Amino acid sequence: MHLAEFVPVEKKFYTYSDAVPILDEWFSAHSDEQGLRDKLTVSGLSSALKAEKRAELLEKLAGVADVHVETELRIGRERSTGGKEHT
């Protein structure tokens, strides 16, 4: 049996004017990360912050993140134990 449901998915958005000073400070303190500056877009910030080596930066930006919760359709099979298995 297959099940489909809408589930909440958290989405984060960073206000540019709040994020830029934090990023400038990070790049000044971490000269080995200058290549990251060229790769970042405002919409790409969340993906870049997933790297473990940037956990401190993620923590600093947490206060300026604009978090939205959206729904996402997930379809999966029901497990024999009664739980849902998402695919």
Tens-place pLDDT, residues 15-68 = 888 989 999 999 999 999 988 988 887 677 888 899 999 999 999 999 888 888
What are the backbone dihedrals phi and psi of residue 81, each rounded to the nearest 5 degrees, phi first? -85, 0
pLDDT at 79: 73
The rounded Cα 5 to chain-centroid distance in angstroms is 22
On the question of pLDDT at 71 being above 80, the answer is yes
The rounded Cα 43 to chain-centroid distance in angstroms is 10
pLDDT at 82: 56
Which region, left, alpha or beta, applies to residue 16 given φ > 0 means left and ψ of -120 to 50 means alpha?
Answer: alpha
On the question of pLDDT at 78 being above 80, the answer is no
Residue linked to tokens 């990251």: 36
Report which of residues 86 and 32 the model is more confident about: 32
pLDDT at 83: 58
